[in-house]
Amino acid sequence: MHLVVRLRIVKLYLMDNLHIFLGATVADAATRPLHWVYDPNKMKKYIKGKKEIAFLKKNRSPFYNIKTGNVSGYNDVGQVMFKTLLSSKKKSDVLKNFKKNVIKNFGPGSGYWKNLKLRKKYKKVKWKKPMNGPWIHQNILETIQNIKSKKNITGGTKVNESDGFCAALPYFLYNNKEKELKKVIKSVANSRINEKYALSKLKIIELANKKDRNPVQSFVKKYKKNKYFKDVITNIKKVLRLKNQNHIMTVRKFGKACSYPGTFMGSIHAIITSNSYKSAITKTIKAGGCNCSRANFVGAYFAALKPESIPSHWVKRTLPAKNILKYINS
């Protein structure tokens, strides 16, 4: 199939909903300079007196330092999928090409891979300062090893984090069939927990995109008798009971770290206690910990619900946004 024709077909699937991926990308970039700040006193110090805490000029992440406007490893795996969708000749080639591109972007020769050696060095000095360059996540590290070992299912199995959701988000805008989405999720994060929480996020985003009046409650109602989503529903109900509680304290209660179910529950609390994209991402940043993983879901959700609510000056400061906007505006 001719390249121009192929791109047009991909755009037909992606274009109408590409603002959702833009929302996740901008949210991640806005949060990134304060990624993995777990100490609440340090967070208060870093944001004190600032009118806007998104896109801090000075990196405050204690572990790694990249240019403000760039995205974390979470959203970057989504960027790899987005580029794969645009370049693949056939639908059946997407997953195979995605795996190749994961190795190119994160594997040997990349900035991510070079920093693996640095991490061993930094551990010895107990992280007195962040290392320069991006941080490769455990799921992606395992994925690269599994691809090279020619395993059928290549995703990491040691951690339950948001890499699977971030990889699946652009694909979901292209093909929302659950069977195919599960394959994408498991290609980078291979566990039942990763799979069902990633799917839950995508289904809630889909409801938001359909302008459902209360996407989270509608998800609970729709899947309350579904055994597969039983744990997810239970955890959403726990969050709903704390709707009137302080967000920072609630995130601390459920867990600030990267893992499910805490990262999902903290995101749901940001969603149900906010009325705009900007307010939701701002409180997500302030809550600290693995705020980038939460920001991707929260940003995608509010972009689906209210596409116009993504601050234009935030979009301008997001480096990968240029490539996304090129296809939105074409």
Q: Which two tokens stand for residue 320?
A: 């990968």
Other C-beta atoms closer than 10 Å to the C-beta of 96 total 13
Look at 116 and 298; give whichever has higher pLDDT.
298
DSSP state of 70: B
Closest CA to 173 of 300, 306, 262: 300
**pLDDT bracket for residue 1 (50, 70, 90):** very low
Instruction: Give this prediction's pTM.
Output: 0.95
- Range of weakest confidence among 35-39, 117-121, 152-156, 287-291: 117-121
List the end-to-end C-alpha distance of the chain, in Å, as a whole number.
21
Phi-psi group of 171: left, alpha or beta (phi > 0 → left; psi -120 to 50 → alpha; rest → beta):
alpha
Q: Return the CATH class of domain 3-328.
A: mainly alpha
Mean pLDDT, rounded, for 107-124: 83
